[in-house]
Structure 1
Amino acid sequence: MSEADPRAASDARTPPVAVWQILEKLRGRDLTDWRLAEVKGRASVEARNLNNGIPFGWYPIDLSADLAKGEVKPLHYFAKDLAMWRGEDGQVRVVDAYCRHLGAHMGHGGKVNGNLLECPFHAWRYDGNEGVVKEIPYARAIPPQVKRKCVRTWHVVEVNRWIWVWYHPEDADPLWEVAALPEATDPDWTDYEVHEWNVWGSLQNMAENGVDFAHFKYIHGTADVPQGDLRWGEWGRGADVKAKMGTPMGEVDGLISYDTMGPGQSWTRFTGISETLMIACLTPVSEDHVHARFCFTQPKAQAEGPMGRLAKGLIRDICKQFDQDKVVWDRQKFERSPIICDGDGPIPQFRKFYSRFYAQQD
């Protein structure tokens, strides 16, 4: 196919966009390292207008299978150090990490004692539901200050084979539930294929991408600007986006149907090339750092059958598109008063909707 061939622009596997120049030589381990490496020299949170706070909602923090009974893990999300453990009863609990005694980080070296978290320094044992110290093995009496709630406890649920915590800067109770997706636990669908990124930008800029229809052509190389039928709910939103998709056998009509529940749970169903569910697990580490994990599952009959190569190719292409977006997000500023034109998509409507997830609004 010649460089001037007009069909070239219709094949999304060969993006004719500037960001690809940054990515075209990255393969294998180099690409994986780039996805996770810190971006040096980026502008400050204040200079990029990212100091709006972290939106509240349910956020995924770990795969359920990656936390064994009796295991303790340190975490750092929402600009906070946390300790997570699975008790002998199988329940996951999360508390703020630092012991009220002498400040040890209980996620590093702490251990499970029954269902309690034992501090590694002096074995003070915390209840993860009440946030109190239940036992001090060497003391005759527990100080009254820690017999009442003394550490923050976090609301935790396990849904779609993930552990989720509810974040709210004022520690308010959850306002909605995590949406359960039937494919995530369907034995006829594959186990998760997980891909991971660190994005050095804001969760809101990333979310706004979903209603920015024009960028699909100029960042991802789609044949045209896709049109979307939008859905707006109280805490969730979604869209059905029709787009031409390039394949080795030519263009096919594709449907990309995505939904969100709050700022931390997003899922997309792809049809046209291979039926695919992508669960996007997006968790803010700080105001300018998002830990992103994509979990893909597909019908085993497709993924392991004659169409398996196309199914795998679709996953690679979705990840490639996220790579392309990341090049922009890593240095993107939040424009508080953007100049919008008629082809941009419903960005003002999106911003009005998204503002509900900030506890303190201007």
Structure 2
Amino acid sequence: MAGLRRRRGEVGSLPAADPRLPRLPRRPRRPGARPPPYPNGWYRVLDSAQLPPGTVRSLSLLGEHLAAFRTRDGQAHVVDAYCPHLGANLAAGGRVVGDCIECPFHGWQFRGEDGKCTSIPYAEKVPDFAKVRTWPCCEVNGMLLLWYHCDGTGPTWAVPEQPQIAAKEWVFRGQTEHFVDAHIQEIPENAADTAHLAFLHGPSFLSGSDLRYTKSKVWDFMKHVWKAEWQPEPEPNQHCSRMLLQHTATVFGKRFPLLDLSVSARQVGPGLVFLIFEHAFLGHGVILQTVTPLEPLVQNVVHKIYYQKNVPAIVPKFILRAECVQFERDITIWNNKQYLLKPLLVREDASIQKHRRWFAQFYSEKSTRPSAPKEGLDW
């Protein structure tokens, strides 16, 4: 899936990544050389608008097959996809009945709140132990999010609501969607790797995301200048970290003030980032970045931008486009790199190790680890 991308909303469509782009061979990967693939935390599964009342959606994420459904009164639920009776997929033909999801095979009905079976059409009594596993979920900022914890522990923190979105002061202006072939930890670790900003993201976004051409002399007249600092937050928000970013641009060696931008990127758990933009003339807005592991080394990354409704839509579209180009440069690196448990670092890289210590809180002793590959030709 390297480089695969999809754009939706008001951003418009762009062609898929050129399959002819070079892809470097991966170095051999040892199963124990990476952290567990699924950190504990909240993850986006759908936009709220994608689950109207009375509908059922099939989900595949975090190595699980799930079914999401919304009751007629608007309550969303997520349960295991497979019926404990004979294994039918509740999301493949199942329907919403009251506050339950009904199995398409024999009509067993499971309550969304606790997963308990409330009705078996042909049975005189429903066994007390008949139930399907439910997953804690919430709806914030127009998204349905699911709580994952390898130990089955309930949510230990809440997803913050962006007040300007709730008050409709900032309106949706588009989104991008990418699939990244990497461990989830690689993506937020970029915030602490401030040294890569000048080298990878210094060349003008006008030069595109293909790393063979980003340093082309054609676009050398414009450069991005970044100043960044990353720090974890203290208790009770130890599950959060923050990167403060100052962006300026030079054109023919002279500063171009119109592109001065202040960004506060707040990481909330392993899979949510709030990028708040502040511009002296062009107003304020936020990009909501969500990272959801589909498989151990496949991440679904969505960027949704909300901006002041009195600002012309072309402004947030331009910001999202520029951010998308820069993000796709990172994707090329992630898709072809190897996670090193003990990287060779210099003193200026100290924040990377600090970030790894901070991120370790999202793993538990029981966190799923990649299985060792089998010897021989058996799959």
Q: Same fold (TM over 0.5)?
A: yes
Q: What is the one-letter code of the residue matched to 1:59? A: Y
Residue of structure 2 equivalent to 1:4? none
Contact 1:51/1:287 (CA < 8 Å) preserved in 2?
Answer: no
For 2:56 and 2:242, locate their aligned partners in 1 and report how far apart those are by CA, in whole Å.
Answer: 36
For 1:132 and 1:32, locate their aligned partners in 2 and report how far apart those are by CA, in whole Å.
Answer: 45
Residue of structure 2 equivalent to 1:227? 228
Q: What is the one-letter code of the residue matched to 1:61? A: V
Query: Which stretch of structure 1 is more off in the superposition, 127-136 or 249-258?
Result: 249-258
Residue of structure 2 equivalent to 1:257? 264
Q: What is the one-letter code of the residue matched to 1:331? A: N
Within 5 A, what are the aligned runs for 1:1-16?
A: none
- CA RMSD between the two structures: 2.7
The verdict on how the C-alpha distance between 1:66 and 1:271 changes in structure 2, with shifts beyond 3 A counting, is: same
Contact 1:239/1:258 (CA < 8 Å) preserved in 2?
Answer: yes
Structure 2 residues without counterparts, runs of 5 or longer: 4-11, 203-222, 368-379
Q: What is the one-letter code of the residue matched to 1:334? A: Y
Q: Verify: 1:289 aligned to 2:302, yes or no.
A: no
Structure 1 position 45, deviation (Å):
6.4
Q: What is the one-letter code of the residue matched to 1:230? A: Q
Residue of structure 1 equivalent to 2:273? 266
Q: What is the one-letter code of the residue matched to 2:268? A: M
Which SS does the other structure have where 1:203 is aligned? coil
Contact 1:61/1:165 (CA < 8 Å) preserved in 2?
Answer: yes
Residue of structure 2 equivalent to 1:13? none
For 2:130 and 2:250, locate their aligned partners in 1 and report how far apart those are by CA, in whole Å.
Answer: 57
Structure 1 position 292, deviation (Å):
0.8
For 2:104 and 2:366, locate their aligned partners in 1 and report how far apart those are by CA, in whole Å.
Answer: 40
4+ long deviations beyond 3 Å: 31-34, 39-51, 222-225, 245-249
For 2:295 and 2:24, locate their aligned partners in 1 and report how far apart those are by CA, in whole Å.
Answer: 16
Residue of structure 2 equivalent to 1:123? 107
Within 5 A, what are the aligned runs for 1:229-244?
A: 230-233=231-234, 234-244=238-248
For 1:148 and 1:43, locate their aligned partners in 2 and report how far apart those are by CA, in whole Å.
Answer: 48
Measured against aligned partners, the alpha-carbon deviations of 1:312-338 in whole angstroms (never above 9, x if no partner) come to 222100011111111111122211111
Residue of structure 1 equivalent to 2:208? none
Residue of structure 1 equivalent to 2:186? 205
Query: Which stretch of structure 1 is more off in the superposition, 188-197 or 117-126?
Result: 188-197
For 2:75 and 2:300, locate their aligned partners in 1 and report how far apart those are by CA, in whole Å.
Answer: 24
Task: Give the % identical residues.
Answer: 28
Which SS does the other structure have where 2:178 is aligned? strand
Q: What is the one-letter code of the residue matched to 2:233? A: W
Residue of structure 1 equivalent to 2:46? 62
Structure 1 position 267, deviation (Å):
0.7
Match for 1:321 among 322, 326, 343? 326
Residue of structure 2 equivalent to 1:153? 134
Which SS does the other structure have where 1:346 is aligned? helix
Residue of structure 2 equivalent to 1:136? 120
For 2:249 and 2:32, locate their aligned partners in 1 and report how far apart those are by CA, in whole Å.
Answer: 34
Structure 1 position 232, deviation (Å):
2.3
Contact 2:232/2:358 (CA < 8 Å) preserved in 1?
Answer: no
**Higher fraction of helix:** 1
Structure 1 residues without counterparts, runs of 5 or longer: 1-19, 21-26
The verdict on how the C-alpha distance between 1:291 and 1:148 changes in structure 2, with shifts beyond 3 A counting, is: same
Which SS does the other structure have where 2:318 is aligned? helix
Structure 1 position 250, deviation (Å):
2.4
Contact 1:198/1:292 (CA < 8 Å) preserved in 2?
Answer: yes
Residue of structure 2 equivalent to 1:176? 157
The verdict on how the C-alpha distance between 1:118 and 1:361 changes in structure 2, with shifts beyond 3 A counting, is: closer
Structure 1 position 28, deviation (Å):
4.9
Query: Which stretch of structure 1 is more off in the superposition, 201-210 or 342-351?
Result: 342-351
The verdict on how the C-alpha distance between 1:349 and 1:129 changes in structure 2, with shifts beyond 3 A counting, is: same
Query: Which stretch of structure 1 is more off in the superposition, 75-84 or 331-340?
Result: 331-340
What is the number of equivalent residue pairs in this alignment?
Answer: 326
For 1:116 and 1:152, locate their aligned partners in 2 and report how far apart those are by CA, in whole Å.
Answer: 13
The verdict on how the C-alpha distance between 1:116 and 1:298 changes in structure 2, with shifts beyond 3 A counting, is: same
Match for 1:342 among 343, 347, 350? 347
For 2:177 and 2:346, locate their aligned partners in 1 and report how far apart those are by CA, in whole Å.
Answer: 33
Measured against aligned partners, the alpha-carbon deviations of 1:112-159 in whole angstroms (never above 9, x if no partner) come to 0111100111111111222221101122232x3xx2263221111111
The verdict on how the C-alpha distance between 1:229 and 1:139 changes in structure 2, with shifts beyond 3 A counting, is: closer
For 1:203 and 1:66, locate their aligned partners in 2 and report how far apart those are by CA, in whole Å.
Answer: 24
Q: Verify: 1:31 aligned to 2:38, yes or no.
A: no
For 1:58 and 1:314, locate their aligned partners in 2 and report how far apart those are by CA, in whole Å.
Answer: 26
Residue of structure 2 equivalent to 1:303? 312
